[in-house]
Chain A
Amino acid sequence: MTPEEISAYWQAYPDLAELWAKGVWDDAGFADHYREHGQKEGRSIPQTSLAPKNWSDWLYFSEMNDDTKWWWKKGVVESGLFHALLYGHDTLNKGSIQNSAKLQEASSLSQFALEQVAKNAQDFPGGGPLGDILSNDLQWAPPKQIGVLQMREAVRAAFSEHYGYVILLPWLESGGAELVGSWHYLAAKELGLNPLIILGDKPNVTTRFAEQGFNILNLPELFEATMAKPYSDLAREERMEVLTSVIEVLVPDVLQLIHSYIGYSALTAPASKKRIRTACKTIFVSAFCPHIHPSGNYDGYFRDLPDLMDVVDRFVFDNDWYLGEMANTYALPASQAEAIKYPVVDLPSAKPLKKKRNKVLWASRFDSQKNPKIVAEIAAKMPEVEFLMYGREVMGDDQIIWEDMPENVTHGGEFFNIDELPIKDCFAFPYTSKFDGTPNILLEIGSRGLPIVTPNIGGIAGYLGDGWQLYVEHPEDISGYIRHLKKLLKDAKLGQTLAKKQRSILKKERSFEAFTASIEALLAPFKDACK
């Protein structure tokens, strides 16, 4: 028998392998056994070319039959599969990693690469990736591309000036937040602070804002242009990182956060808030009112206030009421809060209204907050009056079925500008919102001389005053609305007087000049930072 035949012989029979392992027989002993007993027992010498070349294969295949495990557990063989994969040169001829089809299959690494991984495992036993590769197939991945460095470079290239006043908005559509942002932009410009608007959430810019020629860093657009993939592909944390990095490049004197979700996320997470605080000399955050859902729960960005208080210099409100609420809820110090009166877009000279008017105007969003359905109940009890309703559904939380509305209610459609509304045909403007800050629509309607019937909610008293004659008791006060509307219908003079009062308030308190002065005053404590 050749040595190869002897080896193949004892490997083929577990009882013989055990004798080999015990060291009972050497090669001559096995040869004798075959000659004297094995043949008689019907044992054969396996074809040596079919016998495993080395121990690693033997171990690999027998592992599948659980033999090796048993031998190893019993302490017979030196080590198990793990060892055999790595040590071709050790005390037993166990083969080497090159022969491990299993490992290559699990990792998709080439033989040369696997040898390096094995070398690493020898250098750091118990550490490194080899264990992970064996227990879990190695995960291959394309390059990680958030694009932070590219975005920094793109911002440096496209926004190389120093922007003193950076306003962080979600987008520029038609909401009140955007309007507030644009006012801050204009005031900062007036004050020579070189403003910039960052859109942090979506790329949307309506024509109204596009036409104004603002400096806009449209983060989603810039990202798509730079990285050739949608900004929305990034996870929230990744968008926070992009935004934080961009702010670090811009190092603005003042950063004003207005309703950007990613902005809030970045400014409340411990790591990014620290970086933003370091990058910006002054940080303002705007707040207007909570949002009350139809189910009765109310939320909004104000909930982040406790996590923001340590990094924000001023919380800027559009009304005193909400400032007071926050002071009450979170002990927001007066020194850290400011209520600003935002201006009305324009105050054209008063145009004469038609003398005989029996129409009222309702214009707002057709959302639960604005409570448009109550108009049906009011209208049903005032058949002599026509109710014109303008606006669009945004939240989709309180759909109106127009067919079910009383006949004296007309759906006028969407509007984009106050002057598109038939104001001169109407004698009153019922405002039915359940909650609000200082609604811009009321400023604009007031500027056009239409008397406002409204509940005294949110920041409305900050505009019309506590003694306004046309307050209803609460947003659901149908009889209150009817009473005031009837009064105005009957007494045109009263309407004129109140319209005049509204315009006088606006003229006195809501001019752009007054607003700019208030922003200047807001910035005064941070004067050194805004050079």
Chain B
Amino acid sequence: MLEASAIINIHREGALLVPTLRSLALAKQRAVEAGFALEVLVIADNANAETLKIAEGFGELIDRIIPVTYADLGASREFGIAEAAHDWVFLHDGDDLFSSNWYLQFFEMAKRGEIDARTVYHTALFSRFGNEQNIRQMIDSWDTRFHPLFLASEWYYSNKCVLNRQLFAEIPMPYNNKFTGIGNEDWTWSCHTIHKEIRHSYLPETICFYRVKPALTSLGLTPGMIHGPSPLFNPDSLLEIEIRRAERADKPLAFCDTLTNKGQPVQGDGPPASWFWDEVDIQGEFESIITDYRAVPYGELRAELPNLHYNVAAATQYMMRDMDERPKIFIFASEKNLRAGDKTIELMLSAARDYNQQSHQPVLVLDEGDLVISDFGLMGRFGAKVIGAAHVARFFKIEDWYYNRLMMRPIVQSHGAILIDLGSDIFNKLFTEFHRVLLENFAQTISILPDTTLDPLSPALNNIARNAGLAAAHGGKPYRIIARKALLPTLSKSTDWQLVSFSEDMESAFTAMSRHRFRAVNGTASFDLETMLATPRAPHRNRLPMHHRVAQRLNTRVISNHEAALTAITHGKIRYYLYQTANTWVSPDWYKEAHEFLSNNSHISLVVPQISLSLREGNRYRSRWHNYSAPEQVFSSWYDQLLSDETPPMLVLARERISEQPPVTPAALAEALFTYCKQAGKLASACNETVAIAMPKGGHP
């Protein structure tokens, strides 16, 4: 008799574990009643007491509960697989439900000899419920419509499956690493296995009901993760895949997979069959949310095939071909952000070619703009592989929602490479989504600011500043910025980055390329990348907190220094009180102007800037012109902004202390000001047209 084990990985599912266990108990009961045996193991990885207690209440279903402390799903799953008594293992998470035939279907097919040890079996349908509601039909990896390179941008095969554990011995399941951003272990594993010609198929008429939690209550979403490097995408694999596909006897006639329209072929989508609805009723008893499928108007619910985008396969081939075995130096550039970009890029490529006098393959990822790329020229002169960012988007018709992930593929495949960004839009775009990956998996990740003079609005500087802000928030390695010496004093106002100055040869090479190129028609310029990469960080002074950046000639004394600070400001022997939050910027001239205003207007209690620029999500700003005839309205508005997606700049110079104890948080400051202004005779006014600005943490987005 064929036997199998089911591994259920649990963590802190709490009450949500109950529907899962009830669902699996029914599936087990059906298999057992048909004469099959199933061992059920629960691997409780740092499970809380509530979750454990619930699991313990399912003694009839569960054979063993094993507590572990890996704090990693992949590791605890691997442990469970090793602990299983049988080779065939079903893998489960603690909040999904399965159709009641999930185990039985497998056993019956096995009994008929229809189960293959080198195939991973998934459910025929993958039905999302909860915050999303849709049904995906599983596609067999041997289906001629499926191209393995689809996996570059989209996930097809989950680890909610049944398989022979020998496959794990052959190809271990990788782990998730939230810090480095390399994860989606089932995605990576399906790449590895398909590369090894292991098939991913499904058991007919089976369903996994996959819970999607509402964003409001979900704490577990980890954006910015990407599946790891896989030999599936290596250049030699690309050719093997095509040869294998060409040799197949069952090539589809309906379309041509070398010259297809994007998105073709979409066929096979249809309304779910009656066996789906039967299970909705059965599983709905365990989890009522599943019955919401019933609320979808007739005909609107479709069991859809996953995307079959041959453009993704073609784009992956374009990006990965000619990538050889040499270690990589990636150079990211945007033509429109670079002064003398054409020459600067050549300069960088020649430095990369000569780096360390050892073999490296420069890879240029270029927002080409108006430049026309000579692949052959760049390959011939610099041995460089070129990826045109706009070419990928336009020529291969890559949509925004999977563009970044696809563009990351050649980079992820080159784990350990050197990444050099020239303030490019493409690097910023990728960095915004995948900064952890780009910071933690490569030998060096640096940005070069190519600007000759300090331009606060330079697109390159803005891109680099945003990257640095993300890097600082990530808290891993410091983000290195290489810039001209002359720019360092101003740039050092930010604490987000680690500044390095251009080496002398680099300075003169960049100057020759940009400033003097028309003055010296003949000539070459070069610099040593090794020196640049090894250059130690330049000393920089820490930026002072903004609320201490009071103009000179004013005598200041900090009374309370918290997120909301209180400072006494004395001028002409008159002392006033400054309340200011840490992220608020105002022109240093304001302090003196406000002080003089209070001195000259004895009936006014508070002076506030007139215009505020609040920071919103996505580093967008919103402007308000304030009328202080009812100041409490302005201060309550600050409070309300703090509760929403806005950070207001908060700054007040007061004639007296507004509360007994200094407020220490922005919310407390807003409330204290609101309360203060409710008193009779507490008037506020603004210095005309003065502006207060809420700054992102560290001064940069």
Q: Decide if A268 touches B623 in the complex (CB within 8 Å).
A: no
CB distance from B346 to the nearest CB of A (A): 13
Partner pick for A331 among B18, B217, B633, CB 8 A cutoff: B18
Instruction: Determine the distance from Cα of A303 to Cα of B284 in the docked complex, in whole angstroms.
Output: 12
Complex contact B689–A113 (CB within 8 A): yes
Assembly CA distance A150 to B57 (angstroms): 49
Q: Which residues of B contact A356 (CB under 8 A)?
A: none
CB distance from A486 to the nearest CB of B (A): 34
Q: How far is the CA of A85 from the CA of B458 in the complex (A)?
A: 11
Q: Is A290 an interface residue when CB atoms closer than 8 A count as contact?
A: yes
- Chain B CB within 8 A of A64 CB: no
A29 at the interface (CB under 8 A from B): no
Assess the B637–A127 pair: CB atoms within 8 A. no
Task: Judge whether A268 and B217 touch: CB under 8 Å.
Answer: yes
Cα A331 to Cα B53 with chains together (Å):
9
Cβ of B219 within 8 Å of any chain A Cβ, yes or no, is yes
Tell which of A85, A120, A150, A295 touches B585, judged by Cβ atoms closer than 8 Å: A120
Which of chain A's residues have a CB closer than 8 A to the CB of B288? 290, 297-300, 302-303, 329
- Give, as a whole number of angstroms, the nearest-CB distance from A294 to chain B: 10
Q: Is A91's beta carbon under 8 Å from chain B?
A: yes
Interface string of B302-345 (1 = CB under 8 A from A): 00000000000000000000000000000000011011110100
Mark interface residues in B592-622 (1 if CB within 8 Å of A CB, else 0).
0000000000000000000101000001111
Beta-carbon nearest neighbor of B53 in chain A: A331
Contact A82-B621, Cβ < 8 Å, known A73-B339, A144-B644, A296-B291: no
Q: Which residues of A contact B619 (CB under 8 A)?
A: 132
How far in angstroms is the closest Cβ of chain A from B608?
Answer: 13
Of A76, A91, A112, the most chain B CB neighbours within 10 A belong to A76
- Nearest Cβ distance between residue A145 and chain B, in whole angstroms? 6
* Most A CB within 10 A of own CB, among B19, B457, B491, B701: B457
Complex-state Cα separation, A140 to B620, whole angstroms: 12
Whether the Cβ atoms of B292 and A297 lie closer than 8 Å is yes
> Would you call A149 and B671 a contact (CB within 8 A)?
yes
Task: Name the interface residues of B454-504: CB closer than 8 Å to any CB of A.
Answer: 454-459, 461-462, 464-466, 468-469, 490-491, 493-494
Min CB distance, A331 to chain B, in Å? 5
Contacts of A297 in B (CB 8 A): 284, 288, 291-295
CB 8 Å contact bits of B431-475 with A (1 = contact, 0 = none): 000000000000000000001111111110110111011000000
Number of interface residues of B (CB under 8 A): 96
**C-alpha spacing A302/B288, complex, angstroms:** 10
Chain B proximity of A124: nearest CB distance (Å): 4
**B residues near A306, Cβ cutoff 8 Å:** 14-16
Bound-complex Cα distance A309 to B611 (A): 46
Q: How far is the CA of A378 from the CA of B620 in the complex (A)?
A: 65
Interface string of B10-52 (1 = CB under 8 A from A): 0000111111001000000000000000000000000000100
Chain A residues with Cβ under 8 A from B494's Cβ?
Answer: 124-127
Q: Is the CB of B624 within 8 A of A122?
A: no
Report yes or no: A330 in contact with B15, Cβ–Cβ below 8 A.
yes
CA distance A293 to B515 in the complex (A): 73
Question: When the two chains form their complex, are residues A241 and B643 in contact, meaning their CB atoms are under 8 A apart?
Answer: yes
Alpha-carbon separation in the docked complex, A144 to B40 (Å): 55
Within the complex, which residue of B458, B633, B701 is in contact with A127, where a contact is CB–CB below 8 Å?
B701
A2 within 8 A of B: no
A139-B621, A307-B217 known; A127 vs B699 contact (CB < 8 Å): yes
Interface residues of A in 108-154 (CB under 8 A from B): 108-110, 112-113, 116-134, 136, 138-150, 153
Q: How far is the CA of A107 from the CA of B625 in the complex (A)?
A: 12
Is B151 engaged at the interface, CB distance under 8 Å to the other chain?
Answer: no
> A73, B14: Cβ atoms under 8 Å?
no
CA of A147 to CA of B695 in the docked complex: distance in angstroms? 25
- Given A119, A125, A142, which contacts B454 in the complex, CB threshold below 8 Å? A125
Contact B624 A91 (CB under 8 A): no
CA–CA, A362 to B336, complex, Å? 77
Cβ-based interface call for B117 (8 A): no
B residues within 8 A CB of A110? 689
The CA of A509 and the CA of B670, in the complex, are separated in Å by 54
Interchain nearest-CB distance for B29 vs A (Å): 16
The contact string, 1 if C-beta is below 8 Å from chain B, for chain A 165-206, is 000000000000000000000000000000000000000000
Contact of A45 with B by CB under 8 A: no
* CB of B162 closer than 8 Å to a CB of A: no
| Interface pair A146/B643, CB less than 8 Å apart | yes
Q: In this complex, what residue of A is CB-closest to B616?
A: A139
Residues of A within 8 A of B513 (CB): 75
Contact code string A78-89 (vs B, CB < 8 Å = 1, else 0):
111011011100
* Those of B215-266 within 8 Å (CB) of chain A: 216-217, 219
The residue on B at minimum CB distance from A241 is: B643
Contact of A90 among B453, B461, B469 (CB under 8 A): B453
Cross-chain contact of B458 among A83, A113, A146 (Cβ < 8 A): A83
User: Could you tell me the distance between the alpha carbons of A290 and B287 in the complex, rounded to whole angstroms?
Assistant: 12
Q: Which of A18, A21, A83, A150 contacts B457 (CB 8 A)?
A: A83
A269 within 8 A of B: yes
Pairwise interchain contact B621-A129, C-beta atoms closer than 8 A: yes
Q: Is A72's CB within 8 Å of the partner chain B? A: yes
Q: Is the CB of B693 within 8 A of A128?
A: yes
Task: Note all chain B residues with C-beta closer than 8 A to A14.
Answer: none
For residue B519, CB closer than 8 A to chain A, the reply is yes
Contact A74 B623 (CB under 8 A): no
CB–CB A131/B457 < 8 A: yes
Whether A305 sits at the interface, judged by CB under 8 Å, is yes
Asked if A143 meets B452 with Cβ closer than 8 Å, knowing A126-B494, A293-B295, the reply is: no
- B51's nearest neighbour on chain A, judged by CB, is A331
- For B369, the closest partner residue in chain A by CB is A73
Are B624 and A79 interface neighbours, CB within 8 A? no
Which chain A residues lie closer than 8 Å to B461 at the CB level? 125-126
Indicate if B690 sits at the interface (CB-CB under 8 A): yes
The reply on A23 being an interface residue by CB < 8 A is yes
Contact at B585–A123, with CB atoms within 8 Å?
Answer: yes
With a 10 A CB-CB cut-off, give which of B17, B219, B292 has the most chain A CB atoms: B292
Q: What chain B residues lie within 8 Å of A216 (beta carbons)?
A: none
Q: Which of B50, B456, B517 contacts A86 (CB 8 A)?
A: B456
B693 touches A298 (CB 8 A): no
A75 near B689 with CB under 8 A, answer no
B629-650: contact bitstring with A at CB < 8 Å (1 yes, 0 no)? 0001111110111011010000
Tell me, in angstroms, the Cα distance from A452 to B462 when the chains sit together. 75
Closest B residue to A133 by beta carbon equals: B621
* Cα distance, A116 to B611, chains bound together (Å): 11
Name the residue on B nearest A118 (C-beta): B456
Bound form: Cα–Cα A140–B644 in Å: 17
Given that A83-B457, A332-B15 are known contacts, is A136 also in contact with B339, CB under 8 Å in the complex?
no
Question: Is A146 in contact with B644, judged by CB distance below 8 angstroms?
Answer: yes
Shortest Cβ gap from B695 to chain A (Å): 6
CA distance A252 to B99 in the complex (A): 46
**CB <8 Å contact, A143 and B637:** yes
Point out the residues of chain A lying under 8 angstroms from B219, CB to CB: 270
Known interface pairs A131-B456, A149-B639; 5 further A-B residue pairs with C-beta atoms within 8 A, sorted by A's residue number: A125-B455, A130-B456, A132-B621, A299-B292, A309-B50
Give 30 pairs: A residue, B residue, CB < 8 Å, sorted on A. Answer: A18-B518, A73-B335, A75-B513, A78-B452, A83-B457, A107-B623, A109-B623, A120-B693, A125-B465, A125-B494, A126-B462, A126-B700, A127-B469, A127-B695, A129-B693, A131-B456, A138-B623, A140-B623, A140-B624, A143-B637, A144-B640, A145-B633, A153-B678, A268-B217, A269-B216, A270-B216, A298-B291, A303-B288, A329-B19, A331-B15
The residues of A with any CB-CB pair to B shorter than 8 Å are 18, 21-23, 72-76, 78-80, 82-83, 85-87, 90-91, 107-110, 112-113, 116-134, 136, 138-150, 153, 237-238, 241, 265, 268-270, 290, 293, 295-300, 302-303, 305-307, 309-310, 328-332
Contacts from B to A (Cβ < 8 Å): 14-19, 22, 50, 53-54, 57, 216-217, 219, 284, 286-289, 291-295, 335-336, 338-341, 343, 451-459, 461-462, 464-466, 468-469, 490-491, 493-494, 513-515, 517-519, 585-587, 611, 613, 619-626, 632-637, 639-641, 643-644, 646, 670-671, 674, 678, 689-691, 693, 695-696, 698-701
